[in-house]
């Protein structure tokens, strides 16, 4: 036999079944759904006002469950067109470089990984101080400056809706391994007549002797060509900078090699055109040159700066 409480629950469930909205797929529009929910909600409120004080605890539970269900239907049944979605900003997941400690003028690859949950196109903007950046997008090459220090690199990502994020990494740039070089001692009367502007590298004795005797403008008392300075090519190398037939003031010997250093597994010989005198005596007014010797390494040698033939 049904108790009074059971009859009340059955009556309320019948009311819900009669007036509650059918499944979403049967609604022609959001407006129809809202009207059905409102009708059922009004009936439920009226019934509750007249009977709520007589509801047992189980009836109150059904009432609040049904109320929560109607509110959920109202919120989640709206179509995408009825909802204004907030923009999801792009987020940087990682910013990494192949190397974080570099020599001056070294190059390293840098990659930024970012995600935009909306699927918006991500724009990458790279910023660095006193250094060079090659490439664009998520992957670039960073070239270290010519001075040793710590340098930041910043990557900023953004989308077309104003969302953005940024991250930063630091590079430590080390100086050159500077090589000590010396000006070659020369015979007091020896000059080299080199009429073609050029740079030369001498790593073996035969090359050095051949070039010297071909261009030397000097003879000994015996009438033989003045000998070249002695070089131990087992552990030394000689480079020469020859400017050709241009006016050089009162001395042929000019200091135009400014520095020699190792970086990127290469020996760099830095040359400047505004050379200065090595000796005070006046030996020649043309064909200035500079010959230097330094320790030998099994590395390629490259001239940089303003050297003969560099800037045609």
Q: Could you tell me the CATH number of the domain that includes residue 106? A: 2.60.40.1080
310 occurs within a structural domain: no
Confidence at residue 289, expressed as pLDDT on a 0 to 100 scale: 84
312 occurs within a structural domain: no
- Tell me, yes or no, whether 198 and 166 share the same domain: no
Confidence at residue 54, expressed as pLDDT on a 0 to 100 scale: 44
Confidence at residue 252, expressed as pLDDT on a 0 to 100 scale: 64
187 occurs within a structural domain: yes
245 occurs within a structural domain: yes
- Tell me, yes or no, whether 193 and 278 share the same domain: yes
Domain range enclosing 250:
181-305
- Tally the domains of the chain: 3
Dump pLDDT digits (tens) for 111-133. 999 999 999 999 999 999 888 99
- Tell me, yes or no, whether 146 and 195 share the same domain: no
Calpha distance 260→288 (Å, rounded): 20
| CB-based contact 48:77 (threshold 8 Å) | no
- Tell me, yes or no, whether 207 and 284 share the same domain: yes
Domain limit, last residue, from 118, 142, 175: 175
Calpha distance 12→18 (Å, rounded): 10
* pLDDT under 50: residue ranges of the chain: 7, 15, 19, 21, 23-28, 30, 46, 49-50, 52-56, 61, 75, 79, 188
- Tell me, yes or no, whether 38 and 121 share the same domain: no
Confidence at residue 218, expressed as pLDDT on a 0 to 100 scale: 85
- Tell me, yes or no, whether 296 and 187 share the same domain: yes
311 occurs within a structural domain: no
Residue-by-residue DSSP string for the chain: ---HHHHHHHHHHHHHHHHS---GGG-SSHHHHHHHHHHHHHHHHHHHHHHGGG--HHHHHHHHHHHHHHHHHHHHT--GGG--PPPPPPEEEEEEES-SEEETT-EEEEEEEEE-TT-PPPEEEEEESSSEEE--TTEEEEE--SS-EEEEEEEEEE-TTS-EEEEEEEEEEEPPEEPPEEEPP--TT--B---S-EEEEE-SHHHHHHHHHHHB--B-TTSSBPPPPP--TTTEEEEEEE--S---TT-SBEEEEEEEEEETTEEEEEEEEEEEES-SS---SS--EEEEEEE--SS-EEEEES-TTS--
Dump pLDDT digits (tens) for 25-59. 444 454 555 555 555 555 555 455 445 444 445 55
255 occurs within a structural domain: yes
160 occurs within a structural domain: yes
- Tell me, yes or no, whether 297 and 214 share the same domain: yes
């Amino acid at each position: 036999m049904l108790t009074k409480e059971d009859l009340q629950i059955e009556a309320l469930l019948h009311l819900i079944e009669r007036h509650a909205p059918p499944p979403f797929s049967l609604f022609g529009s959001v407006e129809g759904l809202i009207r059905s929910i409102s009708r059922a909600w009004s009936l439920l409120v009226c019934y509750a006002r007249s009977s709520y004080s007589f509801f047992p605890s189980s009836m109150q539970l059904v009432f609040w469950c049904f109320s929560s269900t109607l509110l959920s239907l109202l919120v989640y049944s709206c179509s995408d067109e009825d909802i204004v979605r907030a923009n999801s900003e792009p987020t940087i997941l990682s910013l990494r470089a192949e190397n974080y400690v570099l020599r001056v003028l070294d190059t390293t690859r840098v990659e930024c990984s970012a995600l935009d949950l909306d699927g918006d196109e991500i724009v990458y903007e790279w910023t660095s101080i006193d250094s060079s950046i090659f490439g664009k997008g998520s992957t670039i090459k960073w070239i270290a400056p010519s001075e040793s220090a710590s340098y930041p690199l910043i990557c900023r990502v953004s989308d077309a809706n104003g969302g953005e994020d940024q991250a930063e990494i630091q590079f430590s740039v080390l100086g050159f391994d500077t090589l000590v070089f010396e000006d070659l001692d020369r015979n007091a009367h020896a000059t080299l007549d080199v009429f073609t502007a050029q740079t030369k590298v001498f790593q073996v004795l035969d090359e050095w002797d051949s070039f010297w005797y071909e261009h030397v403008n000097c003879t000994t008392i015996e009438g033989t060509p003045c000998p070249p300075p002695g070089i131990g090519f087992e552990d030394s190398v000689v480079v020469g900078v020859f400017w050709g037939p241009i006016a050089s003031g009162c001395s042929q010997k000019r200091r135009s090699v400014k520095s020699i250093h190792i970086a990127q597994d290469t020996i760099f010989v830095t040359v400047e055109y505004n050379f200065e005198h090595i000796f005070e005596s006046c030996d020649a007014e043309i064909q200035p040159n500079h010959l230097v010797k330094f320790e030998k390494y099994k590395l390629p040698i490259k001239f940089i700066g303003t050297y003969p033939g560099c800037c045609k």
